[in-house]
Structure 1
Amino acid sequence: MAQAVQARKVTLGLLETEFGLQVATNPQFFTEWIAPETLVTDPELQALARVKSNFEHLIKEPPMLEEAVKMVVLSPLLDLAGFYQPPFRIQPEKAIEIEAIDPEEGVVIRGEIDVLVVSGQLWVLAIESKMSAFSLNVALPQALSYMLANPTQPCYGLILNGSDFAFVKLNCEEVPQYATSRVFSLFAPGNELIEILKILKHLARLVVGR
């Protein structure tokens, strides 16, 4: 079973070797994120517009403070999706340390991945770093290592780095398989937080319905 404490050492190659993890090739494997029929109310639309406006204000004075991004973007999303209310329970996990080399400065950039689990079935991994050095690819192996240790199948994950978001699905019924959604960005035209909230609400219904 995957050990969460050692998650920072996990790579996709290791998960493939040790657990037989495969990328799902069937396009129907992960359709839950595609245009879910989920209602977003006018007050929620206003709240999401406010969240994006707050984010745009935050990035005017870089570097973005990671705690501020988490409070300004992630917390309102989880609230609007209903994850702070019964029957859900949010539990923090041990943060994972990550590091990368800045190719221009030649220095080591360190960050963390904060991990939240919602009712043992939906994993939220937030990459935290004072420099935009880490893409979502950094968090994907860690997310899958936590999800592989979860007996409830299928399970879902959301990984984010402050401005970009992607969803993950893992199913271990036969061979462990995973797939990801497209990347949603706060820099895209319009407000992709609306689609992100729709998907979170849809996943919430799936989790409750089990």
Structure 2
Amino acid sequence: MFELNGVYRNRIGEYTVVRLNGPRMTVRYADGTEAELNVGIQARIWENIVAEQEARAASSRHLRSSNKDTTHYIKAVSLPPGEELSFPGWQERVVMVPTPEMAQRLKSGDRFIYYAVEAQTFFAVVTVTGERFEADPKQHTYTTEVERASFFPTDVDAAAPDLEHGVSVDSIELESYPDFGKLHVDVEGFYRISEDDFELLAEALTEITEDEEEEVEEFEEYEEDEVE
């Protein structure tokens, strides 16, 4: 993957490959310092950086091309503080729509922010990826007396590792709902917000996700160097 004199980047900064030696390589950073790095770990870091850049570019293109068609929401769920990110529909990457009216409005391409009602915390950015389908809620771990409900497939674009690292409702101000934390929020409800409010929350959660990935990569690199 790496080539001699090729220019790449890791979480420290941009570097040039000056020597390749099997599983190790020597690199020179922009400030002139050199380091010997693990090729496998650096390859994974570089691939993640490229993927992040491509995702941001794709997201920008998506927003520019579909602003008129995309509707943004907050999606409320029950997830008490201290609990893992596990609730109906999360693992299956689907979302249940509570009312026929909402099922008619929601469509592929719409986006929403997951909000934990009890913890009053925003924790994930999600895109609806397909058309509505009908299913028994129990198939997707929902507990309800309804035998059939409307569902949409989803994709999680960014998520905090846990509620503790999410975005507290008290730490952010939404123009759509200036006092959102004081509202009576119905579990499973959808609350329409402006694109600006959505982007504000999405940016904060994306930064949290990237910081978490960076910490994991740095820890793995440290562990690998310690073993060697």
Scaled by the length of structure 2, the TM-score of the pair is 0.26
Highest relative contact order (Cα 8 Å, sep 6+), 1 or 2? 1
Greater fraction of residues in strand: 2
